[in-house]
């Protein structure tokens, strides 16, 4: 798997919604010992803890989504579609060096599967690397 500075190294990354991402990032760091590795405006923050990671996202709805890093987004997409996953979009390339698609499982949970395609400096797309 390609390493990409725009994405934490963890393979499975929960995305947790908070009304105020900046406040959440500071609180999670202070209370639980996370370290903020990347700030993306006021709508996203990547936090790491040892070899794990979590992404705080702007939102009011309770619950979470999952970001899963895969070696081949297209092959994974084909597998998920053939197994009956509700596909929300075809694999797409993003400027932060990731190829991603999203799906919903049989329980209604949202999953985003992401393949690193390049090592991209977050400053190139508006992110602020903290470490």
pTM of the full structure:
0.81
Instruction: Compute the distance between CA of residue 6 and CA of residue 69 in angstroms, rounded to an integer.
Output: 12
SS3 of the chain: helix, strand, coil, percent, to 5: 20, 40, 40
pLDDT tens digits along 28-80? 999 899 999 999 999 999 999 999 999 999 998 777 789 999 999 999 999 99
pLDDT of residue 64: 76
């Amino acid at each position: 798997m390609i390493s990409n500075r725009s994405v934490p190294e963890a393979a499975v990354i929960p995305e947790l919604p908070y009304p105020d991402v900046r406040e959440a990032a500071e609180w999670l760091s202070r209370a639980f010992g996370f370290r903020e590795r990347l700030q993306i405006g006021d709508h996203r923050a990547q936090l790491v803890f040892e070899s794990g990671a979590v992404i705080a996202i702007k939102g009011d709805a309770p619950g979470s989504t999952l970001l899963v890093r895969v070696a081949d987004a297209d092959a994974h997409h084909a597998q998920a579609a053939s197994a009956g996953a509700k596909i929300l979009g075809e694999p797409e390339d993003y400027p932060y060096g990731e190829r991603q698609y999203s799906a919903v499982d049989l329980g209604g949970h949202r999953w985003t599967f992401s393949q690193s395609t390049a090592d991209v400096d977050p400053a190139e797309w508006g992110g602020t690397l903290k470490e």
